[in-house]
Amino acid sequence: MQKAIFITGASSGLGKATAKLFQQKGWKVIATMRNPDKETDLAGLENVTLLQLDVTDTNSIEAAVTVAIGSDDVDVVFNNAGYGLMGSLEALTDKQILKEINTNLLGVIRITKAFIPHFRERKQGLFISTTSMGGFLGFPLHSIYHATKFGVEGWSESMSFELGLHNIGIKTIAPGGISTDFTGRSLDRSSHRAYTELEDKLFANIDRMMEAAATPEQIAEIVYEAATDNKDQVRYVAGNDANAMYARWLEIGKEDFRREIRQQFLGR
């Protein structure tokens, strides 16, 4: 029986690569995005349906989920929409903070909540959310981004228990760098004169870190693995850079790892 996946943020990057991979593997793909009218790559592909969805808009979520489950059984929901927010807390406005939390954390929670009754009725289903290696370790000047990605990691772990009662799975994909629009148009950033030196170091470091970035197609393969391996596992660390950092984090422990990051950026 043909399976179906519902994807958020499918207009570019990892969301689009995942939509293409699952389509090639013979799945039905419900590719959601804020502006489906502008989409040319996915439009017209066999078994791909485009739907309008802004994860911060509850009416849009309700409409998209109603259409999706009205036409097909959905097997996997991939919560992927998200963007970066960089800057010291002092540099960020309340509006910037709320928008980031609304998109990266509440968006995931709302979409999941909307699909649970469908999965519970079917006694099966799987949620997968894109977090980040920034969902278990912290870098400077990304505090609100980390709050959202740590949030999705902890929330997923807790949700695994209540969803498990109904044979519903929940997993996270935690990538390192991915060569997408993430550090370009999908990055909101603000500066503050009290943090200039750290900002400069961070920007220089990010360019270097992105040289080791995975392609969205490589990370999409991990999403496919998570969707099909039937493993009782919540977190999938994805990409060579993230796996190397994860191994180091496990090897020396959280506190020493944090001191290493401080040494790297603050030189002490």
Residue 237: beta bridge partners?
A: 174
- Give the residue with the Cβ less far from ligand NAP, 74 or 178: 178
Among 83, 195, 203, 265, binds ligand NAP (CB under 6 A): 83
- Give the residue with the Cβ less far from ligand NAP, 163 or 219: 219
Q: Is residue 81 near ligand NAP by the rule CB under 6 A?
A: yes
Enumerate residues 197-226 that contact ligand NAP by CB under 6 A: 216
Q: Is residue 180 near ligand NAP by the rule CB under 6 A?
A: yes
Among 6, 75, 82, 169, binds ligand NAP (CB under 6 A): 82
Q: Smallest distance from the beta carbon of 39 to ligand NAP, in angstroms?
A: 9
Task: Tell me how far apart the alpha carbons of residues 167 and 187 are, in angstroms, rounded to a whole number.
Answer: 37
Options 9-17, 70-78, 86-94, 115-123: segment touching ligand NAP (CB under 6 A): 9-17
Among 150, 175, 202, 241, binds ligand NAP (CB under 6 A): 175
Site residue total, ligand NAP (CB under 6 A): 29
Task: Tell me how far apart the alpha carbons of residues 157 and 163 are, in angstroms, rounded to a whole number.
Answer: 10
- Give the residue with the Cβ less far from ligand NAP, 73 or 138: 138
- Give the residue with the Cβ less far from ligand NAP, 85 or 126: 85
Q: Smallest distance from the beta carbon of 130 to ligand NAP, in angstroms?
A: 4
Active site residue 236: no
3-state secondary structure the chain: CCCEEEECCCCCHHHHHHHHHHHHCCCEEEEEECCHHHCCCCCCCCCEEEEECCCCCHHHHHHHHHHHHHHCCCCEEEECCCCEEECCHHHCCHHHHHHHHHHHHHHHHHHHHHHHHHHHHHCCCEEEEECCHHHCCCCCCCHHHHHHHHHHHHHHHHHHHHHHCCCCEEEEEEECCECCHHHCCCEEECCCHHHHHHHHHHHHHHHHHHCCCECHHHHHHHHHHHHHCCCCCCEEEECHHHHHHHHHHHHHCHHHHHHHHHHHHHCC
Q: Is residue 132 near ligand NAP by the rule CB under 6 A?
A: yes
Q: Is residue 56 near ligand NAP by the rule CB under 6 A?
A: yes
Among 7, 13, 88, 220, binds ligand NAP (CB under 6 A): 13
Positions that interact with ligand NAP (CB under 6 A): 8-9, 11-15, 33-35, 53-56, 80-83, 103, 130, 132, 175, 177-178, 180-182, 186, 216
